[in-house]
């Protein structure tokens, strides 16, 4: 009887501890730094610093997100890239947290955004969400944000440039419990073929298709979506993905495949399951180099 009472007590204490830790961690921001090098990078972009934002999901760090803006300003990036899911694409949620943040940042920095599955949900279910998506994107563009929907833009330094493509994949590629095969020609048809000698960054919200992105020729893939696996377990990584798979292969940090490299942000916010354990909200800070650096120079969470 005493053992049963102990076990019942433990079953109550553990969830309370997890929720308490999660509530605390969700208020913090970890600026994780990565070094990315490629012989394709124009020499003019040597040392370029990019801040990558993903999966804000309406999270707020200080009044008006001033805490998040302060961390970004301390990094002094050359550019800001946004990988989607800055909003929550569900009823009774608004874009009026992500929009003011990006509007203020656009006054200081050049920003390029792409869609995640939550923005895409607003876009395709117009009967349910009305003009919410169009209003959001239009307002951002009016304030100088470059918003990509299966389009490519360029970042310039001097006479040199690099390409940034914003990939918007169909809903079937976000199905739970199974990876929907992607046709080998899908990326070429959607974004066009990668030009020889062109350093291209691919904003691709779902990291599950890294092999397909690498085959297409992306030099650097920036992804999010998996929220670091919600709970990060030492030596095992993230516990679960939005596809409801345990210990996903691509959960957070740095990966490489052939000549392609990928950084997966743990994201900044949560939705549905508001849990983060050993999994601080992440601001990804990326420095670009022309020369190849050793793997131990990576100091992000891999």
In tens, the pLDDT along 151-166 reads 999 999 999 999 999 9
296 has a pLDDT exceeding 50: no
The four Cα atoms 181, 232, 49, 140 give a dihedral, to 10 degrees, of 70
Range with the poorest average pLDDT among 65-69, 138-142, 237-241: 237-241
Dist. CA 233–CA 230, nearest whole Å = 10
- Which residues lie closer than 8 Å to 44 by C-beta, 6 or more apart? 157, 158, 159, 160
Q: What is the largest CA-CA distance in the chain?
A: 77
* Per-residue pLDDT, 231: 93
Judge contact between 37 and 260, C-beta under 8 A.
Answer: no
- C-alpha closest to that of 228 among 13, 22, 1: 22
The pLDDT tens digits of the residues spanning 157-196 come to 999 999 999 999 999 999 988 899 999 999 999 999 988 8
CA 294 to chain centre: 24
Parallel/antiparallel/unpaired status of strands 260-264 and 232-233: unpaired
Rounded to two decimals, the pTM is 0.90
Element spanning 50, H or E: strand 49-53
**Token pair belonging to 208:** 């599950």
- C-alpha closest to that of 213 among 166, 176, 247: 166
Identify the structural domains of the chain with CATH numbers, from first to last.
29-294 (3.60.21.10)
Range with the poorest average pLDDT among 13-22, 112-121, 240-249: 13-22
Judge contact between 25 and 231, C-beta under 8 A.
Answer: no
* Per-residue pLDDT, 3: 42
Q: What is the mean pLDDT of residues 19-33?
A: 78
* Per-residue pLDDT, 7: 40
**Confidence band (pLDDT; 50, 70, 90) for 24?**
low
Residue 272 falls in which region: left (phi positive, over 0), alpha (psi -120 to 50) or beta: left
**Confidence band (pLDDT; 50, 70, 90) for 243?**
confident
* Per-residue pLDDT, 11: 58
* Per-residue pLDDT, 297: 46
CB atoms within 10 A of CB 97: 19
295 has a pLDDT exceeding 50: no
Parallel/antiparallel/unpaired status of strands 151-157 and 160-167: antiparallel
Dist. CA 168–CA 121, nearest whole Å = 11
Dist. CA 225–CA 198, nearest whole Å = 27
Structure letter (DSSP) for residue 158: T
User: Average pLDDT, whole number, for the chain?
Assistant: 90
End-to-end CA distance of the chain: 45
Percentage of residues of the chain with pLDDT beyond 70: 88
* Per-residue pLDDT, 56: 97
* Per-residue pLDDT, 92: 87
* Per-residue pLDDT, 13: 58
Judge contact between 33 and 287, C-beta under 8 A.
Answer: yes
**Confidence band (pLDDT; 50, 70, 90) for 244?**
confident
Q: What is the mean pLDDT of residues 232-239?
A: 93
């Amino acid at each position: 009887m005493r053992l049963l009472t102990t076990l019942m007590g433990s079953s109550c204490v553990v969830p309370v501890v997890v929720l308490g830790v999660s509530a605390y961690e969700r208020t913090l921001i970890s600026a994780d730094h990565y070094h990315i090098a490629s012989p394709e990078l124009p020499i003019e972009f040597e040392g370029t610093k990019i801040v990558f934002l993903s999966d804000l999901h309406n999270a707020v760090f200080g009044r008006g997100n001033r805490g998040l803006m302060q961390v970004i300003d301390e990094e002094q990036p050359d550019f800001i890239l946004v990988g989607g899911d800055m909003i929550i694409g569900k009823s009774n949620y608004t874009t009026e947290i992500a929009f003011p943040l990006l509007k203020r940042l656009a006054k200081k920095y050049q920003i390029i955004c792409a869609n995640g599955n939550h923005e895409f949900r607003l876009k395709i279910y117009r009967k349910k969400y009305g003009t919410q998506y169009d209003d959001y994107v239009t307002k951002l563009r009016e304030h100088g944000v470059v918003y990509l929907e299966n389009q490519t833009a360029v970042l310039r330094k001097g006479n040199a440039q690099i390409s940034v493509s914003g990939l918007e994949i169909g809903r079937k590629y976000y199905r739970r419990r199974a990876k929907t095969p992607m046709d080998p020609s899908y990326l070429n048809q959607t974004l066009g073929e990668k030009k020889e000698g062109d350093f291209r960054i691919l904003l691709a919200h779902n990291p599950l298709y890294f092999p397909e992105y690498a085959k297409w020729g992306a030099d650097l893939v920036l992804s999010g979506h998996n929220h670091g696996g919600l709970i990060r377990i030492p030596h095992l990584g993230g516990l679960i993905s939005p596809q409801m798979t345990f210990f996903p292969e691509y959960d957070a940090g740095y990966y490489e495949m052939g000549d392609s490299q990928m950084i997966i942000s743990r994201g900044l916010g949560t939705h549905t399951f508001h849990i983060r354990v050993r999994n601080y909200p992440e601001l990804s800070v990326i420095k670009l180099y022309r020369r190849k650096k050793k793997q131990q120079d990576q100091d992000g969470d891999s």
